[in-house]
Amino acid sequence: MSPISRWSENPTGVLAEYRDSADRQQVREWGLRAGKQLEEGNVRDAELTLRLALAKAPADPLCRSLLAVCLATERGKLVTAEKLARGVLAAEPNDPVARYALGRVLMQKGDRAQAFREFARAKALAGGDPGLRTAVERQDPRRTSVFPHLPRDHTLNILVGRLFRRLGAKRQAP
């Protein structure tokens, strides 16, 4: 069906479709801008941008995830932030930004072990997104495991890691 025939059949429907498309694009741009503002440390500006975006698209997962980070870091509203991030994950369990946001919230709450698990999941899901991978790596200050095939909390990783740290040696997998 050509655009002209669609227009002649239902002009208001076509206009609404274009308006919705423009709104989605604007919300996406606001979400990206808020992400950049968060990276630069402008949490209040990011929160304002996200609230504008969520006024147009309340269910947008990117904006909801980033708002969770804003609420946790700037305002200390950890319960609300955790609910926001978990709500996004309930709808989209493979959303790397939501995993990252939940990790940031859990880190603020003091649950480091669970936060690191969420960061690892976010990093695995991030794929080719270098910005998200860098943000996740910035949150995890731990060094790499001495034996990567063993869990981080395995006794051998812990003891050999402590020995290497005392000797000042760089860790390399055998």
> Which residue, among 149, 61, 72, 144, has the nearest Cα to 110 in the 3D structure?
72
Contact 60, 27 (CB under 8 A): yes
Higher model confidence: residue 15 or residue 92? Answer: 92
The yes-or-no verdict on residue 87 having pLDDT over 90 is yes
pTM: predicted TM-score of the whole model, two decimal places: 0.71
| Confidence band, pLDDT 50/70/90 cuts, at residue 136 | confident
List CB contacts of 147: < 8 A, sequence separation 6 or more. Answer: 154, 156, 157, 160, 173, 174
Evaluate whether the domain defined by 3-141 bears CATH number 1.25.40.10: yes
* Higher pLDDT pick, 152 / 140: 152
Contact partners, residue 56, CB within 8 Å, separation at least 6: 23, 26, 27
Residue 103 pLDDT exceeds 70:
yes
